[in-house]
């Protein structure tokens, strides 16, 4: 069977997902596109031999859409996910699941009422070969029990303008999710330390920031987030365990030596660093839909957990206090 995917929002990532689905993902095709910027949807639809529609509802309800990919701006995800749940259609919803934990809870409640899992959240790092290899080191024969995790997340330029609270909900949400996934447990407290800002940081905002969390068993998780790092896009993760250390490679495949200098390219965007992860995520999603096997990626519950951590991190940033993170009771659907 071929899964016919309808895509809501065809900007940077929506277009990348569309091209991946059309070119590299077995068992899928892109059938329908919608974007408020209609010419953008028309252009891509023409390139892919898809059609475009004029409303979100027309896309979700279309007979030739088996599954929905939500790649609209952060603030629209919850609304679009609720519409797809109401139509009973499976979806890959870009991160974050929602802005604000109340909105994320509403999506989880709607999925629980529906009675089966429809949502995979686009936390694609769970499919990145680097992170997968890192997690494989966390065994008794490997680095042993994790004690401290150091994360670095740097953008070349602030992707959607720079507001510190959005850095937490849009950018650092990747680390909130991937550290829960790596450690296999929830995060229980958060502090956000402001410091000296870079020259491109708007007045009143903070960049870089340091986020320090603790997990259920007490593991310390430190995250440096720097939106305007300028030199390139870079993600690092280093785990210190009780019998060793594992450091994730930087995604570099080729080292070039010319003119007495040895080095490698740094990607400008997340698309370069995580190209394999995006493709593998889509393939796993489409394969699960095609075979009826469980979705492997982040669930709506994981999306809610990340949204709760983001909200508490905003509180920690505003107050300067260490803030506890309490999740609601996990519904059976996600156990």
On whether the CB atoms of residues 252 and 273 are closer than 8 A, the answer is: no
11 scored as a contact of ligand NAD (CB under 6 A):
yes
Residue 272 as a binder of ligand NAD (CB under 6 A): the answer is: no
Among 83, 55, 54, 46, CA closest to 68? 83
Task: Point out which residues pair with 240 in neighbouring strands.
Answer: 148, 245
Pick from 226, 270, 285, 301 the residue near ligand NAD by CB under 6 A.
Answer: 270
Closer by beta carbon to ligand NAD, 70 or else 143: 70
Among 66, 83, 94, 101, interactor with ligand NAD by CB under 6 A: 94
Q: Does 161 bind ligand NAD (CB under 6 A)?
A: no
Is 8 a binder of ligand NAD (CB under 6 A)?
Answer: yes
Note whether 209 and 195 are within 8 A (CB).
yes
Nearest CB to ligand NAD, comparing residues 74 and 250: 74
Give the C-alpha separation, 7 to 5, whole Å: 6
Residue 21 has a CB neighbour count (10 Å cut-off) of 24
**Least distance CB 29 / ligand NAD (angstroms):** 20
* 37 interacts with ligand NAD by CB under 6 A: yes
Q: Which of residues 55-74 bind ligand NAD (CB under 6 A)?
A: 56, 71-74
Binding status of residue 38 toward ligand NAD by CB under 6 A: no
Beta-bridge partners for 119: 91
List Cα–Cα distances, 81 to 158, 198, 241, 305, in angstroms.
26, 37, 38, 17
Query: Where does this chain bind ligand NAD (CB under 6 A)?
Result: 8-14, 34-37, 40, 56, 71-74, 76, 94-95, 122, 124, 170, 270
């Amino acid at each position: 069977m071929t899964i016919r995917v309808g895509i809501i929002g065809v900007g940077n990532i929506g277009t990348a997902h569309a091209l991946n689905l059309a070119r590299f993902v077995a068992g899928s095709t892109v059938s329908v596109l919608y974007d408020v910027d209609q010419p953008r949807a028309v252009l891509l639809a023409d390139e892919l031999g898809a059609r475009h529609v004029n409303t979100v509802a027309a896309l979700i309800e279309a007979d030739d859409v088996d599954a929905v990919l939500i790649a609209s701006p952060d603030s629209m995800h919850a609304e679009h996910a609720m519409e797809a749940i109401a139509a009973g259609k499976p979806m890959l919803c870009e991160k974050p699941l929602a802005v604000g934990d109340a909105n994320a809870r509403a999506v989880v409640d709607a999925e629980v009422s529906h009675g089966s899992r429809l949502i995979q959240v686009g936390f694609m790092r769970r499919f990145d070969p680097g992170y997968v290899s890192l997690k494989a080191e966390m065994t008794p024969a490997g680095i042993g029990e994790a004690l401290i995790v150091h994360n670095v997340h740097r953008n070349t330029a602030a992707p959607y303008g720079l507001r510190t609270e959005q850095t937490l909900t849009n950018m650092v949400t990747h680390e909130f999710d991937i550290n829960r996934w790596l450690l296999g447990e929830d995060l229980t407290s958060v502090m956000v330390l402001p410091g000296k800002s870079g020259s491109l940081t708007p007045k009143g905002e903070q960049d870089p920031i340091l986020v320090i969390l603790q997990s259920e068993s007490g593991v310390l998780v430190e995250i440096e987030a720097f939106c305007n790092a300028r030199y390139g896009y870079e993600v690092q993760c280093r785990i210190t365990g009780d019998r060793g250390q594992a450091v994730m490679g930087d995604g570099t495949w080729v080292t070039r030596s010319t003119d007495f200098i040895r080095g490698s390219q740094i990607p400008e965007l997340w698309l370069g660093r995580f190209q394999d992860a995006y493709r593998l995520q889509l393939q796993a999603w489409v394969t699960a839909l095609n075979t009826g096997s469980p979705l492997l990626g982040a669930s709506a519950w994981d999306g809610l957990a990340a949204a709760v951590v983001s909200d508490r991190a905003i509180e920690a940033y505003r107050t300067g206090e260490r803030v506890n993170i309490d999740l609601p009771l996990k519904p059976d659907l996600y156990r």
